[in-house]
Structure 1
Amino acid sequence: MMGISAPFTLFPATAAMFSVGRKWVMGDTDVKLFTTFFKCYKDNYKQAMVGGIFYTLLFVIMYVDYTVYMKQLQSMQMIGFIMLGLLIVLFVSLFHFFSMVAHYRMKTVQLVKNSILLTLLRPFRMIMTTVVSGAILYFSLFKWPFLLIFFAGSVIAYYAFFNFYAIYQKMQDQHQRMQEQEEAEEEPEKDADKEVPFDEVEHTLVQEHEDKNRHSRP
């Protein structure tokens, strides 16, 4: 039941929480907490819900595949371990997904795709985010349960978006340096279709952020 309702409740609420975390990370510390949360919940509801359905379906399909390979097709357990690895990547990419819902304006399919790709391209900060988030949940569940209710979610959202934003800023700097280098080495007859030699996902994210500055989220 929880898995069925998650795309319609948990995903939009988490996206709204990340939107509040985004405000804090970007220096807007005087933001009205509940007003901002419910406004972002409403504004991002459809996209977070669709993304939640997509993620839930992927989780179910991959988990079923993992179970089949590990229990019924034991001669092919290696594929089962691969599916387990993909499940972990998919789960960890949720941090990027919620950060992107809060920070970018792009189609839901692009959000999911870029979330997964960015997880693979920038694994170190994702590992840090996962470890710290796991530690926060552990202490909230087993040491200080009151933290789970009042602080755990917001602290995780803040830290996850902080790491995501650091990744974005690094990509933006890299993108700018490559543009400057290309302009310095530009030949008189430049191919009109030539692009900056930049990873597709990173180029897309930087461009989307530039577009967002013209149509800023609340």
Structure 2
Amino acid sequence: MWQNKIQSLLETFGAFIILNILWLLFCLPVVTIFPATITLFSIVRGWSKDGIDYQITKQFLSEFKENWKRYFWMGLTWLASGFILFVYYYFVLSLQIPGKSVFIGLLFISTFLYIGMTIYCFSLSVHFELSHLTVIKNAFFLSIGRIGSTIFSIFIVLLIVLLSYFFSLFFWISGSVAAYAIYSIISKRNAEIWFKGESELTEPNG
């Protein structure tokens, strides 16, 4: 019995490694980060519902092809927003300007919203059939209105980054584990929305 459990554990660990490596490879061109991450979330969503499907490479390639077509421009917008935020960081932290504390406060809020909306965008996109604009709108409202889920998810991301930094082996499953944990947290903590369909998201409640 214990041998079967060990084998199952090793197979699960291997699946997360393979998925993580595929995700990293498809993120390398940079402009593909968004569709690659959508694909990552789509696969872990299936795993959370139906268990692990070990046809990982075939599934990833197939879904990435579809997500590349659908989310390429949304991904470029996301990257551009991140770049603007980075430039804002540089100027606010490096320059001596009047009222700097106010700008730092705005920087903190902007960063929180950017990360929170990113987390919700991925989860919403793989669970609902929504337009890009509706995804972004709901990601904004949910990141604020469901702030507990947002903070918890950001904490998970930071924890996994730290674990990857201090334990290099963990890096090889960091992305897939993070996606699985985040999707599970958001879907369970927002179950009343998650399992009622798109109609619950057309006019988000605070």
Please state which band the TM-score falls in when normalised by the shorter chain.
0.7 to 0.9
Q: Where do 5+ consecutive residues of structure 2 fail to align?
A: 1-26
Q: Where do 5+ consecutive residues of structure 1 fail to align?
A: 177-195, 204-218
The 1:141–1:96 alpha-carbon spacing in structure 2 relative to 1, beyond 3 Å, is: same
- Alignment RMSD: 3.1
State TM-score, norm by structure 2: 0.72
Contact 1:19 1:37 (C-alpha < 8 Å) held by counterparts: no
Which of 159, 163, 167 does residue 185 from structure 2 map onto?
163
State TM-score, norm by structure 1: 0.69
Provide the residue aligned with 1:9 in structure 2: 32
The 1:69–1:148 alpha-carbon spacing in structure 2 relative to 1, beyond 3 Å, is: closer
Partners of 1:4 and 1:33 in 2: CA distance: 19
Are 1:201 and 2:204 matched, yes or no? Answer: yes
Partners of 1:136 and 1:62 in 2: CA distance: 22
How many residue pairs align between the two structures? 178
Provide the residue aligned with 1:41 in structure 2: 64
Provide the residue aligned with 2:154 in structure 1: 130
Which of 40, 49, 73 does residue 26 from structure 1 map onto?
49
Shift of 1:146: 2.1
Give matches, 1:185-196, under 5 Å: none
Seq. identity, %: 20
Which of 72, 77, 82 does residue 59 from structure 1 map onto?
82
Partners of 2:57 and 2:71 in 1: CA distance: 19
SS at match of 1:26: helix
Shift of 1:11: 1.4
Structure with larger Rg: 1
Provide the residue aligned with 1:208 in structure 2: none
